[in-house]
Amino acid sequence: MTSSETDDRKIRIAVLGASGYTGSETLRLAARHPNMAIVALTADRRAGQALGDVFPHLGGLDLPVLTRVEDVDWSDIDAAFCCLPHATTQEVVAGLPDHLKVIDLSADFRLTDPAVYAEWYGHDHLAPHLQGDAVYGLTEWARDDLPSARIAACPGCYPTGALLPLLPLVKDGLIDTQGIIVDAKSGVTGAGRAPKEAMLYGEVAEGVNAYGIAHHRHTPEMEQELSAVADEALRVTFTPHLIPINRGILSTIYVTLANGADVAAMRASLLAAYQDAPFVRVVPQGTAPATRHVRGSNHCLIGVFEDRVPGRAIIISAIDNLVKGSSGQAVQNFNLMFGLPETAGLQQEPLFP
Amino acid sequence: MTSSETDDRKIRIAVLGASGYTGSETLRLAARHPNMAIVALTADRRAGQALGDVFPHLGGLDLPVLTRVEDVDWSDIDAAFCCLPHATTQEVVAGLPDHLKVIDLSADFRLTDPAVYAEWYGHDHLAPHLQGDAVYGLTEWARDDLPSARIAACPGCYPTGALLPLLPLVKDGLIDTQGIIVDAKSGVTGAGRAPKEAMLYGEVAEGVNAYGIAHHRHTPEMEQELSAVADEALRVTFTPHLIPINRGILSTIYVTLANGADVAAMRASLLAAYQDAPFVRVVPQGTAPATRHVRGSNHCLIGVFEDRVPGRAIIISAIDNLVKGSSGQAVQNFNLMFGLPETAGLQQEPLFP
Amino acid sequence: MTSSETDDRKIRIAVLGASGYTGSETLRLAARHPNMAIVALTADRRAGQALGDVFPHLGGLDLPVLTRVEDVDWSDIDAAFCCLPHATTQEVVAGLPDHLKVIDLSADFRLTDPAVYAEWYGHDHLAPHLQGDAVYGLTEWARDDLPSARIAACPGCYPTGALLPLLPLVKDGLIDTQGIIVDAKSGVTGAGRAPKEAMLYGEVAEGVNAYGIAHHRHTPEMEQELSAVADEALRVTFTPHLIPINRGILSTIYVTLANGADVAAMRASLLAAYQDAPFVRVVPQGTAPATRHVRGSNHCLIGVFEDRVPGRAIIISAIDNLVKGSSGQAVQNFNLMFGLPETAGLQQEPLFP
Amino acid sequence: MTSSETDDRKIRIAVLGASGYTGSETLRLAARHPNMAIVALTADRRAGQALGDVFPHLGGLDLPVLTRVEDVDWSDIDAAFCCLPHATTQEVVAGLPDHLKVIDLSADFRLTDPAVYAEWYGHDHLAPHLQGDAVYGLTEWARDDLPSARIAACPGCYPTGALLPLLPLVKDGLIDTQGIIVDAKSGVTGAGRAPKEAMLYGEVAEGVNAYGIAHHRHTPEMEQELSAVADEALRVTFTPHLIPINRGILSTIYVTLANGADVAAMRASLLAAYQDAPFVRVVPQGTAPATRHVRGSNHCLIGVFEDRVPGRAIIISAIDNLVKGSSGQAVQNFNLMFGLPETAGLQQEPLFP
C-alpha cells in the first residue's frame, strides 16, 4: 500500500442523514478532505432542499441537493457515511450494494452479541448477518482490521472517551477490572438535532443534571470492549451528565490500582500505547485535560492522577463528541479503510476560545 | 422562647466583605429578611463607594455606604456576616467584640483540628482559641448547637452538597465508610469575584475541566464530618469540576452498600432524616436532581439510584452554591442562632429558567 | 379602600396554561404573594399531572393538580391569569363567567383596533366585544384604569422595554416622533417552551441573530401606544435579536431630539414620570443598564446618552422579559385591579450572578 | 507573479504577543498554512514557557519557546504578526528592521490622521513616520495596495463588520451618508485575555449590556473609511454591546435610502462588489445572517432588509471577530502581501454548533 499525503485519488462518498449534527460535521470535514468527492446527500424529510437551507454555515459549499435515500444512484459511489438514527440504519445498510464501504455513526453495528443488542435496544437486530462484517471502529484499536472491513461501526461518543484511556490500562493489567466508574459530562450535540423540550436552550443553560443513570445504552459498548481485553466479563458504573456546552465530553474515571501498579506505570502504559497515535495525547503530569482544548479537533487528551485514597487513581479524558466522538473518528476510519494517511482531512487545530 | 413568623424584632447586622459574590448574595437575602436591619457594610478596597456602584442589581436598596472594617462602630451591632477571604477572616473575627454573633462564610473555623487546618491551608491558625466557640453550621445537623453558638462556621459549598446526603446514610450504617467517591460539578461563583484569567468568560464558556484533583481544600471538611458520625477515620475521593454555569453544584456520589442494605433503605433513611427539614427534599424515585431546579433557592434536592454493578449505589444532590452552599445557609444559621423561624427570609422559590 | 401591606385578604386565583414559562413564572410569584390563594391550574396536554412533574423547581409547593380548562369550577375563583397561546386565549376568555377578573399575558387583547389585529395576526378577532373591556396593562401608564378593568391586557415583553422609556419623552415632546429605532436583544424564554429546532441549545448558544425583521408582531403595540400619546400616527423601526441568555431584554433606542431638547431634559422627564414608580429606575448618568441587574425582578432600568452625532440621543432599557415583561407585570396589574399595594409579592431583589 | 495553490515557498514568520487571543488565533491558522514557517513567538511576561503552557489547545504543535521581543533574531524572518496592545505596538514596530513585512492587528496604524489618533487615544503617536507606510487592511478594499505595502494595519473587528456592507452602498450612492447607525453585538474575545472583573464568566453570562456608548475607539475608523468613499466627512452612530458568546459580531445597521434607491439596488451593489471575494457572501433574500454560521471561519455574511418605515433599510452582517475581524483577515492580508492565493490557509468551514 502506498499511502501518502500526495495521494490524489478522489473517493466518491455519500452522506446519509445529512440534516443532523453528525451529518453536518461529517460534511464540514469531508468538504476539505483531499481525497473525498461528495456526490450524494440524503435527508428524507428535507429532500429537495439545498444543504445551505438546512445548515447555513455550509451554504457556501458547492454540494448536491438533499435527496431521499431511495433516490441515490449507488453505482458510482465508493463509500457511505451513515449518520442515521439507530434501527433505521440497519435497514438502510442491509439494502446497500456490496461494493460500498460503510462508515456507520449509529449504534447499530457496535454490539457483536445479538442478545446484548436486543436487551439494550428492545428489539431483535434486523441485519444480524451484517454484524460479522462490521469492525468496531475505535480507530487506534482497529488499525489492523479496518483496511479489510466493509463496515466500520464507529463507537459511541461516551465509549470513545472512556475506552481510549482504559483499554491500555486493562490490557497491561494495571487496574482492577472490577469497580471501574466512569462519570462523564457531555455537551448537548450528542443528543442530536431533533426538537425535544429537554434540549431547549431554556432547559439546558445554567444547569447540570445526570441522566440515563445506570442504564445508558453506551454502557454495553464499554463492557464489550473492556471485557475483550480483560478476557473476562466485567461491568462498568457509568453516569452521563448533560452540561451547557455544545461540544465536548469530559470523562472522569475512578479506578483501583492492580497489585503493584502505580500512577507512573499507568502513564507509561498510556504513553506507549499511543506513541504513534496522531490524535491521542497524554498531557503533562499535573495538567487536567479540558474539553475546550479539543473543541473542533479530532484530539483526545488523557491525564492520570494519584488519588488521596491509597491504592486508587483518577483518569481524565477529553474529546469533542462530534469529532473524535463521532464524525472525526468516522473520517479517520475511512482513511484507514481506503489506505489513506490516518490524518487526511483531520489536521485542524482546536478552536479556542 | 417563642419563635414565630410574626416575630418583629430587628436584629442589627453588618456584612463584612460586601463586594464579593457571597457578600452580595447575603445582602440580597438580608434586604428582604423580616428580622434584619443592615447597619454596616465593609469592603476595604471599595470603601467610600455606594453598594450600587459595586453591585448595580442592588442599587435600588437604601443601604449604608461601604466602609473599611476598622471604621465600623460595633457597639450597636448584633451580628456579623463574614464574607471575607480565608486567613483574613480569623484575624478580623479575633478582633470583634464578644457580644457579636458571627456567621462566618469563610473556611477559617470549619476545621476543628489545628493540625489539619495547618496541613491544608499551609500556615498555623491565627485564632485557635476561637475554634472552640465555633459550631460547624451544616444547619440540619447543627440545630441543637446553633442557638448557643457564638460563631457559626458555615460549611463549604462542596461539603454541603456531599454531606447532606451522606451523613444520614453513614450514621444509619447503610453504606461502606471506605471508598466513597464524590464527583462534583460546580458553577463559577464558587471561585469568587477576583479577576483571574481562568475565570474569564472566554476561558470558562463552552468547556468543562476538573481541578484540585485529589487535593481540594474542601476534602478535609467532608472527612471531618463523616468521620464523626462514622466514629472512625475515613477518607473521601473528591473531584470538583468547573462547568459554565453561574450557580449550582451537582454532586454525583458513588458508594458501596453495607451488608444487607439496599436503595430502598437508603431512601427511607434520607426521608426520615429530613422529614422536618424545610429545605431538603428527597426527589421521587427515578427522578434526577438538577441544579436548575434549585437556582436562587436554599433548597437541596437528593436522589438515590441503584447502580448496574451489584452492591453499589449512586446518590445525586443539587444545591445552589451561593444559597444553600453559602449565603442562604448563613441566613438559616442566623435564624437558629437568634431563635427565629428557620425559614425566615429564605422562602423564595427557585428561578427557572 | 384601604390597601396596605397588612391586607390579609386571600384572592382565589386560577392560572391557565401553567405548563409554559409564563405560567411557571406566574406561579413562582403567586406562591409567595401574601394575598393569593392558588386554587386551579390548567394545562390541557398535561392534565392529571402534578405541577412538580412539569416544573420540578416548583415541586415543593402544595398546589392543585393540573386540569383541563373545561374542568375548572369557576364559581369560587376571583381572578384568572391567562398564560395561553394567542388565539386560544380569546376563545377561552370569552367563555369565562363575568365575575372573574382576567389578567391576560397573551397578545389577544392588546390591540384595540380589530383591523390592526387582523392585519398582524392573520384572522379576525373571535371576541371583539371584549376588546372594550380590556385595559392595556403597562402598569405605570394604566394605574387609573386598572382598578375598574375586567381584563388587563398585559403588554408584550418588547413593548414593555421600549414604551417605558419612550412614552414620557414623546408625551413631553422631547423627541421626534418619526424615525424612532428600537434595537432589542432578548433571551430565549420569550419564545416559550414548545420544542422547536431553532430554540435548541445547540442552535442558540454561542450565537446571535436578528429575526422578524421589520414585521415582528410587537411592532403594532408600540405604535398604538406611542401614537396615542403623540396624538398622531407614527411608525417604529423595530428589530428583535435572539441572544443566548434565558431572561432579559435590552432595548437600545435611537432617537432624534426635538427642537431645543437635550439629554438633560430627557433625564428630567424620565425621573419625573417615574418618581413614584417602585419598579422603574433611571440609572446614574454614564451608567449603562444591563439585563443581569434586573434578572428575576420586576425592575426596569433606564439610561440616556448623548449621541456623537449632534441632535441625536440613545436610550437604553433593561427588563427581565419573564417578570416586568410578563408575569411580574401581570401580578402588578392584579395588585391594582384588587386594590392591593402595587408591590405586593414583587419585592425580590434581582438574582446576580 | 505566479501565485498558485501549489506555491511551496515557506515564508518565515514571527508572532509577537502570542499569549493573547489574537495571538493564539493567528497561530491556529498559521500552523496549517501551507506557506508559513513559524520561527519566533514572543510574550514578554511568559517568556521561557512553551506555548502549550499558555494555550494547551495548541500543545500538540512543534513550535518555538516563547521569548521576549528583544531576544528575537530578526535577520532570518520575513514577516511579523503583531498581536500586541495598542501603543506598545508602535514602539515595537518602529524598532523592527526594514526588510520585515508587518501585519499589525492592533489599532496603532489604522488612523491616518495623527490628530484623530491623538484625540481618540489620548497621546501623540510615537511613530508617525510609519503611518505613511501602512495600508488599512480591509482586504477586499485593499487588494491593490497590499502587495507593495510594508505594514498592513488590520481593521478593528467592529469596523470590519460595519464597513464590508457599508462601503459599496456609500460608494454607489445608494444610502444617505448622514444618520448611519451601527448597533453591534460582540462576543467577549474582542476584549482580550487580560483578567478584568467585567470579563469574568459570572459577570458576562446570562446578560447583555452596551458599553463605550458614543465614544468607542472603533468609531473614527469607520468614519475615516466611509468618509473616504463618500468624499465628504461623515459621522456614524455606533453602539457596541457585549453578549455572552466567545466569538462573533453581529452588526445591525440602520440607514436611510438615497433618492431613488431601494433594497434591490442595495443587494445588487453588494453582490457586484463581492462577486470575486471568496469570504464575503450576500445571503439569500429573507435570510438573517447569524454569527453561529461564521464561527471559526473567515466568512462575512451580509443581508439586506426593507424597513417597515418607508425610505429606510436594515443591513445585517455577521463575522467571527477573531477570524475575519482579526487573525483571519491578518492572514488574508499576509497572503496578498506575499503574492499567495488570497484563500491560502483560510479554507476551514465554520464550526457549528
- Residue by residue, DSSP assigns C293-323 as GTTTSS-EEEEEEE-SSTTEEEEEEEE-TTI
Instruction: At B292, list the grid cell.
Output: 436548575
Task: Round to whole Å and give the CA distance between A126 and A133.
Answer: 14
Of B199, B206, B244, the CB nearest to D200: B199
**What DSSP line would sit under C190-247, residue for residue?**
GG-SS--GGGBHHHHTT--EE-STTT-TTHHHHHHHHHHHHTS---EEEEEEE-S-SS
Residue C157 among the catalytic residues: yes
Q: Which residues contact A52 (CB under 8 A, 6 or more apart)?
A: A58, A59, A60, A61, D284
A1 three-state secondary structure: coil
Instruction: At C110, list the grid cell.
Output: 392588546
Alpha helices by DSSP H, A113-187:
114-121, 128-131, 157-171
Residue C6's pLDDT is what?
A: 62
In A, minimum Cα distance to B294 occurs at A207
Residue A133's pLDDT is what?
A: 85
Of C209, C295, C309, the CB nearest to D290: C209
Instruction: At C189, list the grid cell.
Output: 424564554
- E strand or H helix at D230, and its extent? helix D219-230
Going by their DSSP bridges, the two strands A300-306 and A11-16 should be labelled as unpaired
C292 to B206: CB separation less than 8 angstroms, yes or no: no
User: Could you tell me which chains touch chain D, where touching means 3 or more CB pairs under 8 A?
Assistant: A, B, C
C-contacting residues of D 253-272, CB under 8 Å? 254
> Is residue A15 over pLDDT 80?
yes
Q: How far apart are the first and last CA of chain C?
A: 40
Strand spans (E) along chain D: 11-16, 36-42, 66-67, 79-82, 101-104, 134-136, 151-153, 180-186, 209-210, 236-242, 249-256, 280-282, 300-306, 312-319
Which among B213, B234, B210 has a CA at the least distance from the CA of B222?
B234
Is this prediction's pTM over 0.90? yes
What phi and psi, each to the nearest 5 degrees, are found at residue A105?
Answer: -95, 0
In D, minimum Cα distance to B201 occurs at D201
Give me chain C's average pLDDT, please.
Answer: 96
Which among C180, A96, D293, C204 has a CA at the least distance from the CA of B353?
C204
Which among C118, C124, C74 has a CA at the least distance from the CA of C95?
C74
Indicate the range of B73-77, C71-75, C86-90, D309-313 predicted with least confidence: C86-90
Residue C7's pLDDT is what?
A: 78
Q: What is the pLDDT of residues A151-164, one digit of tens each?
A: 999 999 999 999 99
> Is residue D268 over pLDDT 90?
yes
Residue D1's pLDDT is what?
A: 38
Residue B132's pLDDT is what?
A: 80
| Chain D residues closer than 8 Å to C314 by CB | 210, 213-214, 237, 239
Residue B131's pLDDT is what?
A: 85
What phi and psi, each to the nearest 5 degrees, are found at residue B36?
Answer: -120, 140
Residue A278's pLDDT is what?
A: 98
Q: Which residues contact C199 (CB under 8 A, 6 or more apart)?
A: A195, A200, A201, A202, C188, C191
Task: Round to whole Å and give the CA distance between D58 and D47.
Answer: 17
The one-digit pLDDT tens for each residue of chain B (353 residues) are 344 456 789 999 999 999 999 999 999 999 999 999 999 999 999 999 999 999 999 999 999 999 999 999 999 999 999 999 988 999 999 999 999 999 999 999 999 999 999 999 999 999 998 988 899 999 999 999 999 999 999 999 999 999 999 999 999 999 999 999 999 999 999 999 999 999 999 999 999 999 999 999 999 999 999 999 999 999 999 999 999 999 999 999 999 999 999 999 999 999 999 999 999 999 999 999 999 999 999 999 999 999 999 999 999 999 999 999 999 999 999 999 999 999 999 999 999 99
**Mean pLDDT, rounded, for D295-303:** 98
Task: Round to whole Å and give the CA distance between B168 and B185.
Answer: 22
Interface contact D4, partner A, CB < 8 A:
no
Q: What is the pLDDT of residues C119-131, one digit of tens each?
A: 999 999 999 989 8
* Residue C4 banded pLDDT, cuts 50, 70, 90: very low
Q: 10 Å Cβ neighbour count for D42?
A: 26
Instruction: At D202, list the grid cell.
Output: 459570572
Task: Round to whole Å and give the CA distance between C24 and B349.
Answer: 11
Residue D263 in contact with residue D310, Cβ under 8 Å? no
Residue B228 in contact with residue D227, Cβ under 8 Å? no
Q: What is the pLDDT of residues A47-72, one digit of tens each?
A: 999 999 999 999 999 999 999 999 99
B139 three-state secondary structure: helix
Task: Round to whole Å and give the CA distance between B33 and B27.
Answer: 9
Handedness of CA D79, D83, D87, D88 (dihedral sign): negative
User: Could you tell me which chains touch chain C, where touching means 3 or more CB pairs under 8 A?
Assistant: A, B, D
D349 to A28: CB separation less than 8 angstroms, yes or no: yes
| Chain B residues closer than 8 Å to C188 by CB | 353
In A, minimum Cα distance to D244 occurs at A205
Residue D6's pLDDT is what?
A: 62
* Residue A6 banded pLDDT, cuts 50, 70, 90: low
> Chain A closest CA to C56's CA: distance in Å?
12
Of A193, A201, A244, the CB nearest to C188: A201
Interface contact C30, partner A, CB < 8 A:
no
Residue B6's pLDDT is what?
A: 62
C195 to A193: CB separation less than 8 angstroms, yes or no: no
**Mean pLDDT, rounded, for A205-222:** 97
> Is residue C5 over pLDDT 60?
no
Residue A129 in contact with residue A191, Cβ under 8 Å? no
Residue C3's pLDDT is what?
A: 42
> Is residue A270 over pLDDT 60?
yes
C-contacting residues of D 300-339, CB under 8 Å? 305-309, 312, 314, 316, 318
Of C32, C301, C352, the CB nearest to B55: C352
Q: What region does A192 belong to: left with phi over 0, alpha with psi -120 to 50, or beta?
A: left
Task: Round to whole Å and give the CA distance between D237 and D233.
Answer: 14
A202 to C199: CB separation less than 8 angstroms, yes or no: yes
Task: Round to whole Å and give the CA distance between C242 and B329.
Answer: 36
Q: 10 Å Cβ neighbour count for B113?
A: 12
Residue that the C-alpha cell 471561585 belongs to: B191
**Mean pLDDT, rounded, for A321-339:** 98
